[in-house]
């Protein structure tokens, strides 16, 4: 079931005007919420009301962007199709002259967490498996399914010609690889992200290719003689480090999952039943205020199927946490109250610091609690949350962090590995950069203010343009650097001494890169 349409459904659009950007963000917010609703309910039971509840928007806004529910569902499928084409079909197609590397890239990108997340994979199968939605799937993806199959078949033909294995049938070998990838996708649809072993999936796919072409896929390919060494701290990392999927998987597991990440402020959870949700290092997280003021953090996932129990970032539960599709009810402390699927909600480590709520995606309490020093967060105890926003960045997350460490401002404090605190006289801000895929990231902004509401609003209004300008400059610089690295094969030497924090960060990433290049690593 090769996915996709090359129709660009706002995957990386950047409209020029402010009004256009706002409309684009609102439309994308609805599409994201629609994908979540499709994941949770399927096409037939997804309603406009459920989508706007997940998007935290008014029902009337839907009519501004979509003529009907059906149009919104189609737009969501078109978005996924365009995303797959941009992130898988296009880069693999550009490497057809080197079929071995093209097939390696195809496998890694096909199984990448951004393309093949449990949430997105379940939407593909929902459209394909529900009879009433099959025609929409066929109209949008049918032709591109054929193009995907043709691309794999062409790569197999090139492999057969290059290896001299004329006894092989390109169509049969291509069908075998597509089947392997489809079986792995089916497994992803019924797991939580924390349980998806992507390196193992890549390795299994490459073993299939090795069984057909043992001379090319038997072992990880050695680096060419002229390839750069992993850079020491006085140099940049090699360009590949900013677009390497295996390195990103290691960074998520060893740097991001054990680190404490801000999810929100305690003031957002005032009474029993209030909740916050979000994404932490690929893990969907839910914090609930229970009776007697207690707070609990869980994986935001149903025990029967790994769909999100709540989709909005913030909301209120009347009396319990419910999974209506599977008739499961959990108390605010995560215990199963009723339902036929045994097991309580999976707990996650939660800490309070300066009024902030921090969560770790690594449930193992022995994991290193990186980045938690209560004195760092003390300034937020007298501040109130003003809002949260997100922005896509066409650059690897490490580039954003490197910029923070290269030219730190006096009022800023870096919290390893991916957060930046800035405390000002009028308030404060927390920046959190999270990887979405190799070479792309998302910048999350938590804004806080101090003083009376009237003074707070005036000060914030005066400070916002300066803050927005600085963030915009950081994003533009990171994206420009990422584009420049695409054409490089070696490290970019920098003159002068590096700040110690930047040298340490690069040394961490270099060590992970060496691990991914070690013999026996899944590549």
CB 466 within 8 A of CB 403: no
Name the domain boundary from 330, 347, 369. Answer: 369
Task: Provide CB contacts within 8 A for 435, sequence distance 6+.
Answer: 248, 251, 252, 256, 396, 397, 441, 442
DSSP 369: -
Task: Write out pLDDT tens, residues 296-354.
Answer: 999 998 888 878 889 899 999 998 888 888 889 999 999 998 988 888 998 999 999 88
Q: Are residues 250 and 301 in the same domain?
A: no
Name the domain boundary from 369, 392, 417. Answer: 369
13: pLDDT strictly greater than 50? no
Q: Are residues 35 and 152 in the same domain?
A: yes
Beta-carbon-side half-sphere exposure of residue 60 (alpha carbons within 13 Å)? 0
- Helix residue ranges per DSSP H, 372-428: 397-406
The predicted pLDDT at position 397 comes to 96
Task: Provide CB contacts within 8 A for 210, sequence distance 6+.
Answer: 216, 217, 218
Give SS3 for 4: coil
**Where in the sequence is the domain holding 278, given as residue range(s)?**
260-369
Domain assignment present for 249: yes
Q: Are residues 341 and 386 in the same domain?
A: no
Domain assignment present for 134: yes
Q: Are residues 450 and 500 in the same domain?
A: yes
Domain assignment present for 340: yes
Domain assignment present for 10: no
CB 43 within 8 A of CB 133: yes
> Which strands make up the sheet holding 321-323, listed edge to edge?
321-323, 328-330, 336-338
CATH of the domain at 242: 3.90.380.10
Q: Are residues 166 and 117 in the same domain?
A: yes
Domain assignment present for 9: no
Q: Are residues 447 and 401 in the same domain?
A: yes
The predicted pLDDT at position 231 comes to 42
Q: Two tokens at 116?
A: 């093949």
Q: Are residues 362 and 349 in the same domain?
A: yes
Q: Are residues 237 and 208 in the same domain?
A: no
CATH of the domain at 307: 2.102.10.10
152: pLDDT strictly greater than 70? yes
Say which range, 252-266, 355-369, 376-390, 405-419, has the weakest mean pLDDT.
355-369
Domain assignment present for 6: no
Tally of domains in the chain: 3
- Angstrom CA distances, 188 to 112, 248, 381, 437, stand at 11, 18, 41, 17
Domain assignment present for 510: yes
The predicted pLDDT at position 45 comes to 82
What is the rounded distance in angstroms from the CA atom of residue 50 to the CA atom of residue 479?
Answer: 35
Domain assignment present for 343: yes
pTM value is 0.56
**What percent of the chain is predicted at pLDDT more than 70?**
79
Q: Are residues 59 and 169 in the same domain?
A: yes
Q: Are residues 364 and 376 in the same domain?
A: no
Name the domain boundary from 313, 339, 369. Answer: 369
Helix 99-110 vs helix 170-189: crossing angle, to nearest 10: 20
Q: Are residues 317 and 448 in the same domain?
A: no
What is the rounded distance in angstroms from the CA atom of residue 286 to the CA atom of residue 361?
Answer: 11
522: pLDDT strictly greater than 60? no
Q: Are residues 420 and 363 in the same domain?
A: no
């Amino acid at each position: 079931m090769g996915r996709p349409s090359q129709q660009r459904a706002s995957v990386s659009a950047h409209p020029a005007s402010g009004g256009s950007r706002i409309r684009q963000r609102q439309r994308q917010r609805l599409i994201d919420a629609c994908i979540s609703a499709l994941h949770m309910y399927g096409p037939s039971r997804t309603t406009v009301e459920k989508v706007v509840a997940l998007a935290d928007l008014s029902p009337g806004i839907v009519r501004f962007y979509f003529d009907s529910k059906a149009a919104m569902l189609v737009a969501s499928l078109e978005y996924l199709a365009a995303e797959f084409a941009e992130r898988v079909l296009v880069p693999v197609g550009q490497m057809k002259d080197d079929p071995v590397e093209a097939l390696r890239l195809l496998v890694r990108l096909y199984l990448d967490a951004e393309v093949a997340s449990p949430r997105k994979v379940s939407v593909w199968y929902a459209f394909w498996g529900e009879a009433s939605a099959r025609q929409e799937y066929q109209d949008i993806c049918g032709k591109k399914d054929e193009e995907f199959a043709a691309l794999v078949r062409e790569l197999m033909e090139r492999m057969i010609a290059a290896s001299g294995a004329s006894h092989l049938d390109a169509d049969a070998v291509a069908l075998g690889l597509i089947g392997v990838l489809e079986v792995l996708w089916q497994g992803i649809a019924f797991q939580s992200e924390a349980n998806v072993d992507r390196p193992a999936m890549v390795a299994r796919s490459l073993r299939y290719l090795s069984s057909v072409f043992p001379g090319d896929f038997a072992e990880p390919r050695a680096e060419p003689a002229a390839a750069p060494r992993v850079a020491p701290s006085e140099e940049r990392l090699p360009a590949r480090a900013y677009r390497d999927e295996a390195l990103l998987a290691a960074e998520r597991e060893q740097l991001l999952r054990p680190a404490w990440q801000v999810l929100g402020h305690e003031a957002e959870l005032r009474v029993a039943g209030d909740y916050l949700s979000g994404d932490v290092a690929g893990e969907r997280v839910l914090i609930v205020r229970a009776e007697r003021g207690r707070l609990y953090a869980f994986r935001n996932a149903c025990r029967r199927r790994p769909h999100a129990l709540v989709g909005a970032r913030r909301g209120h539960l009347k009396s319990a946490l419910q999974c209506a599709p599977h008739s499961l009810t959990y108390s605010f402390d995560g215990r199963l109250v009723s339902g036929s699927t045994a097991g309580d909600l999976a707990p996650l480590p939660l800490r309070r610091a300066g009024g902030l709520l921090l969560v770790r995606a690594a449930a193992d309490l022995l994991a290193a609690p990186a980045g938690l020093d209560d004195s760092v967060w003390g300034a937020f105890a007298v501040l109130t949350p003003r809002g949260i926003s997100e922005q896509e960045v066409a650059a690897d997350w490490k580039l954003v962090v490197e910029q923070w460490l290269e030219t730190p401002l006096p009022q800023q404090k870096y919290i390893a590995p991916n957060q930046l605190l800035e405390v000002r006289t009028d308030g404060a801000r927390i920046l959190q950069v999270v990887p979405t895929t190799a070479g792309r990231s998302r910048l999350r902004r938590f804004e806080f203010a101090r003083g009376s509401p009237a003074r707070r609003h005036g000060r914030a209004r005066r400070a916002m343009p300066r803050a927005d300008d600085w963030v915009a400059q950081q994003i533009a610089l990171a994206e420009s650097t990422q584009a420049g690295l695409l054409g490089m094969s070696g490290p970019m030497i920098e003159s002068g001494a590096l700040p110690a924090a930047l040298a340490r960060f690069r040394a961490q990433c270099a060590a992970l890169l060496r691990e991914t290049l070690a013999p026996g690593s899944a590549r």
